[in-house]
Amino acid sequence: MTDVDLLTKLRSSLYIATCADLTPPTGATITYSPSTTPRLVGTVATHTCNTGYTLSSVFTATRMCQSDMQWSGSAPMCECTLLL
C-alpha cells in the first residue's frame, strides 16, 4: 500500500461529529460562533429576535452543537410585540 492509499484510507475512516444548520424561527436570525462550516461540536448558535419580536421567556437564545450531533435545548420562539 502506498502512502497515498494509506492517507486516503485514513481520511475515509475519520469521523467528525457535526450538527446541521438550524432553521431560524419566525422573526429571528441565527449567528454561529465560530462561523465556519461544518458546525463542529462546541459551535454556539445565537438566536436574535428581529425588531418587533421578543424571545419567549421559556427559551434561551443560545444552543450548542453536542457530540451526539444534536443541538442543546429546544428551538426558541420569537413572539410578535407589534400592535396592529
Residue-range domains of the chain with CATH: 3-80 (2.10.70.10)
φ, ψ for residue 2 (rounded to 5)? -80, 170
Q: Interior CA angle at 22 toward 66 and 84, to 5°? A: 135
36 grid coordinates: 465556519
Q: What residue has cell string 450548542?
A: 64
Residue 20: which of 48, 40, 34 has the closest Cα?
A: 40
CA dihedral sign, ordered 58, 62, 66, 70: positive
| Dihedral sign, Cα of residue 26, residue 43, residue 60, residue 68 | positive
pLDDT in tens, the chain (84 residues): 676 666 565 555 566 889 999 999 999 999 999 999 999 999 999 999 999 999 987 788 999 999 999 999 998 999 999 776
